[in-house]
Amino acid sequence: MRLEGKTAIVTGGASGFGEGIVRKFLTEGAQVMIADINGKAAKTLAEDLGATACTVDVSDGASVQAMAEAAQAAFGLPDIVVNNAGVTHLPQMMEYVTEEDFDRVFAVNCKSVYLVARALVPGMKARGSGAILNVASTAGVSPRPKLNWYNASKGWMNTATKAMAVELAPEGIRVNALNPVAGETPLLASFMGEDTPEMRAKFLSTIPMGRFSTPEDMGNAAAYLCSDEASMITGVCMEVDGGRCI
């Protein structure tokens, strides 16, 4: 019960890594809001797990503000915010990625972190505490070919994490990131271009431990970084990648 008495928002929490984080937080005693663009999935999961649900488009300022207000109404200013929602473009040479796809990747993966900070950091500062966890990717540490602008968006998130951490530390707010390798999530097929045994084998050959990241792996790492056990840890971009970035 490392998170007993804590409250948390997890964006993109209705599936994949986000769902793994939600489940772990609940088992550790937190109250959790599952915030997802797929409101129906968020509501269904919340009803199953005993959480709160919220439909949100993290790339839209008004939607993020509404999420913050919904959390305030449900359980007050959250102690923990996990910026997990993310998208990618299909693997292709950088000059062939459409402007629409580029804008979408940076709006969801990067602008969302700013919007969430704008909505929730002032309250955390006034309270003098908070934990923010950004879900980046090994793609932002050791980029894969043809995931060019996705790689860049996750590199941005790692740098943003450090910039947020050093600025917010005097305010009692910790900011860390997780860098998972690809996992069994809705984005896996998009990363690979096609989900075939051959393509999976090619991906797995780059991971020394020989398997994908799981939602459980992410939940375990997130629970530690957001707990009081990690009270001296901020600005860390932890690789949960089975050795992928060595």
Residue 246 falls within a domain, yes or no?
no
78 inside domain: yes
- The catalytic residue positions are 150
pLDDT band at 233 (very low <50, low <70, confident <90, very high): very high
Q: Flag whether pLDDT at 190 surpasses 70.
A: no
In a domain, 2, yes or no: no
Q: What was the pLDDT predicted at 5?
A: 96
Q: Which helix (H) or strand (E) holds 127?
A: helix 112-127
Q: Per residue in 11-23, pLDDT tens? A: 999 999 999 999 9
Give me the pLDDT at residue 204, please: 86
Q: State the average pLDDT over residues 60-81.
A: 98
Tell me which residue range forms the domain holding 39.
7-240
- 184: exposed, middle or buried (C-beta count within 10 Å: 0-12, 13-18, 19+)? middle
pLDDT at 186 over 90: no
Report which of 218, 186, 4 is spatially closest to residue 86, judged by C-alpha positions.
186
Counted domains in the chain: 1
Share of the chain above pLDDT 70, in %: 96
Q: What is the pLDDT of residue 206?
A: 86
Task: Evaluate if residue 189 carries a pLDDT over 80.
Answer: no
pLDDT for the residue numbered 168:
98
**Is the residue at 20 inside a domain?**
yes
Per-residue pLDDT for 41 more than 70?
yes
Is 1 contained in some domain? Answer: no
Look at residue 245 and tell me if it is in a domain: no
**In this structure, is residue 165 part of a structural domain?**
yes
Note the pLDDT of residue 195. 72
> By the 8 A CB rule, do 162 and 136 touch?
no
Burial class (CB in 10 A: 0-12, 13-18, 19+), 235: middle
Query: If phi over 0 gives left and psi between -120 and 50 gives alpha, with beta otherwise, what is residue 126?
Result: alpha
pLDDT of residue 219: 97
- For residue 183, the model assigns a pLDDT of 76
CATH number of the domain encompassing residue 132: 3.40.50.720
Q: pTM value?
A: 0.94
Asked which of 42-51, 98-107, 210-219 is least confident by mean pLDDT, the reply is 210-219
pLDDT tens per residue, range 144-184: 889 999 999 999 999 999 999 999 999 999 999 999 988 77
